[in-house]
């Protein structure tokens, strides 16, 4: 199956692998990548997608070649074992955040996006919330992921800090490395606000500050641990503060948040709009006053740049990796000091003009989604075939 690739100017196949992408920021980035593809640029490429996924829909709408794989660990494992039969040696495989496809290691030229920040911060107990036996399992999986990534020909990191750490890591330091800064999804912008959308009436009608936690049910996000700060916010100000969640209420982590909120007398200040479609993110952000991300660790959160693009305040973890990403375009809080954090949030809300000015300046240092695509495609074009 040899075709001429306008991208590379040679008879070779470029494989774009979206199999590791399920939801969250990865899904936003993948959809943005597809939506921003220049016309005809990748017409002769093959996109590996999960069957019946939003990414499959987006790729097929552009009439691009797809190879669809049924969801489920076993189906993916089977595909990865026999993927070599679909392609030829020296094809280029760009995996959007994840390790190389098993049977393509040493067969294709593998370019892999890296989104496992915890692999490069060994001193942080990233799995602190798990019982001991699950924590051991997670750490074994992490070790497997790091070794798998070391088999890539090239790795693309989201930040300079991650790449600098990787270049001194015993396992990853020998891999050719790049940085492509994150950009706000092409689906997120003030122009994408749907003013007729009534899905967020429960948020719109609130009289008070609305802090958005745009995240799934992942304990690393430490939303439950933020609740004492929410308590202090409502003790210190006559204007009430609410937090907006975007996760399935059936998730055990969501239930633990609600249970703890009840114990603190905060139940009425927790509004859960459930999982939000990527196309509705702009509208939801527009109805909130700020985004909050107090995760223990992130490589680079979509929350950051989406807040900036929507001209909203951003409150994040007071840690070196967050400060390196956000500079003066965010305010830094320590959830272990709830009263101090609450005072900082309230003061920022009251005097937000300076922070919003810093946000506009900081946003200019990041690429647009189309510019980010161009950087990805340039790395593919220059790959060592």
- Write the CATH number for 159: 3.40.50.2000
**DSSP reduced 3-state for 245:** strand
pTM: 0.86
User: Which uninterrupted H or E stretch holds 57?
Assistant: helix 54-61
pLDDT digits (tens), the chain, 385 positions: 444 444 444 455 889 999 998 887 788 888 888 988 876 666 668 899 999 999 999 999 888 888 999 988 899 999 999 999 888 888 999 998 999 999 999 999 999 999 899 999 988 899 999 999 999 999 999 999 999 999 999 999 999 999 999 999 999 999 999 999 988 777 789 999 998 888 899 999 999 999 999 999 999 999 999 999 999 999 999 999 999 999 999 999 999 999 999 999 999 999 999 999 888 999 999 999 999 999 999 877 889 989 999 999 999 999 988 998 899 999 999 999 999 999 999 999 999 998 999 999 999 888 988 899 999 989 998 885 4
Sign of CA pseudo-dihedral 285, 286, 292, 297: positive
Asked whether residue 157 falls in the same domain as residue 239, the answer is: no
Residues making up the chain, counted from first to last: 385
Q: How far apart are CA 118 and CA 135, in angstroms?
A: 13
What is the distance of C-alpha 240 from the center of its chain?
A: 30
Q: Are 382 and 191 in contact (CB under 8 A)?
A: no
pLDDT in tens, 50-65: 999 999 999 998 888 8
Q: How far apart are CA 172 and CA 363, in angstroms?
A: 30
> From the CB of residue 260, how many other CB atoms can be counted at a distance below 10 Å?
17
In our burial notation (b when 16+ CB lie closer than 10 A, e otherwise), range 141-173 reads ebeebbeebbebbbbbbbbebbbebbeebeebe
Asked whether residue 341 falls in the same domain as residue 375, the answer is: no
CA angle 75-79-82, nearest 5°? Answer: 145
Total domains present in the chain? 2
- CA distances (Å), origin 345, targets 51, 82, 329, 355, 380: 43, 53, 14, 12, 43
Residue span of the structural domain in which 165 resides? 4-183+368-381
DSSP string, 100-151: PPGGGTTTSEEEEE---GGGG-TTS-TTTTS-HHHHHHHHHHHHHHHHHHTT
pLDDT at position 5: 47
Asked whether residue 155 falls in the same domain as residue 253, the answer is: no
Asked whether residue 212 falls in the same domain as residue 169, the answer is: no
Asked whether residue 112 falls in the same domain as residue 250, the answer is: no
Q: How far apart are CA 93 and CA 46, in angstroms?
A: 9
Asked whether residue 305 falls in the same domain as residue 344, the answer is: yes
Structure tokens that stand for 135 in this block = 């924590």
Q: How far apart are CA 140 and CA 257, in angstroms?
A: 28
pLDDT in tens, 250-301: 999 999 999 999 999 999 999 999 999 888 999 999 999 999 999 999 877 8
Asked whether residue 262 falls in the same domain as residue 372, the answer is: no
Asked whether residue 245 falls in the same domain as residue 294, the answer is: yes
> From the CB of residue 310, how many other CB atoms can be counted at a distance below 10 Å?
21
Asked whether residue 69 falls in the same domain as residue 203, the answer is: no
pLDDT at position 3: 46
Q: Are 271 and 245 in contact (CB under 8 A)?
A: yes
pLDDT at position 42: 61
Asked whether residue 213 falls in the same domain as residue 284, the answer is: yes
Asked whether residue 86 falls in the same domain as residue 214, the answer is: no
Q: How far apart are CA 359 and CA 308, in angstroms?
A: 6
Q: Are 100 and 152 in contact (CB under 8 A)?
A: yes
In our burial notation (b when 16+ CB lie closer than 10 A, e otherwise), range 38-61 reads eeeebebbbbbbbeebbbbebbee
Asked whether residue 196 falls in the same domain as residue 342, the answer is: yes
């Amino acid at each position: 199956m040899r075709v001429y690739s306008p991208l590379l100017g040679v008879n070779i196949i470029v494989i774009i692998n979206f199999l590791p992408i399920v939801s969250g920021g990865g899904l936003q980035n993948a959809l943005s990548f597809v939506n921003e593809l220049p016309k005809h640029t990748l017409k002769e490429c093959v996109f590996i997608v999960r069957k019946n996924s939003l990414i499959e829909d987006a790729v097929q709408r552009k009439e691009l070649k797809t190879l669809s794989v049924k969801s489920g660990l076993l189906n993916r494992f089977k595909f990865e074992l026999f993927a070599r039969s679909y392609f030829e040696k020296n094809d280029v495989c760009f995996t959007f955040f994840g390790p190389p496809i098993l049977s393509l290691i040493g067969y294709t030229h593998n370019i892999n996006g890296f989104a496992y920040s915890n692999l490069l911060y060994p001193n942080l107990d990233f799995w602190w919330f798990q019982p001991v036996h699950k924590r051991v399992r997670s750490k074994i999986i992490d070790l497997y992921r790091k070794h798998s990534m070391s088999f890539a020909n090239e790795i693309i990191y989201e930040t300079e800090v991650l790449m600098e750490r990787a270049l001194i890591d015993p396992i990853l330091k020998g891999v050719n490395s790049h940085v492509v800064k994150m950009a706000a999804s092409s689906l997120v912008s003030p122009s994408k606000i749907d003013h007729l959308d009534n899905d967020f009436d429960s948020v719109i009608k609130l009289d008070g500050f609305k802090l958005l936690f745009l995240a799934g049910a992942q304990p690393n996000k430490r939303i439950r641990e933020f609740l004492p700060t929410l308590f202090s916010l409502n003790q210190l100000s006559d204007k009430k503060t609410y937090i907006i969640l975007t996760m399935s209420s059936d998730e055990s982590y969501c239930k633990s948040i609600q249970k703890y909120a009840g114990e603190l007398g905060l139940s009425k200040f927790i509004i859960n709009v459930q999982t939000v479609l990527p196309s509705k993110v702009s509208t939801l952000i527009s109805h909130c006053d700020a985004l909050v991300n107090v995760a223990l660790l992130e490589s680079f959160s979509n929350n950051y740049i989406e807040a900036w693009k929507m001209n909203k305040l951003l409150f994040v973890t007071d840690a070196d990796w967050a400060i390196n990403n956000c500079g003066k375009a965010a305010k830094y809080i320590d959830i272990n000091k709830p009263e101090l954090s609450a005072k900082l949030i309230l003061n920022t809300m009251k005097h937000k003009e300076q922070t919003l000015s810093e946000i506009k300046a900081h946003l200019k240092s990041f690429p647009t989604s189309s510019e980010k695509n161009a950087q990805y495609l340039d790395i593919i074009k220059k790959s060592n075939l």
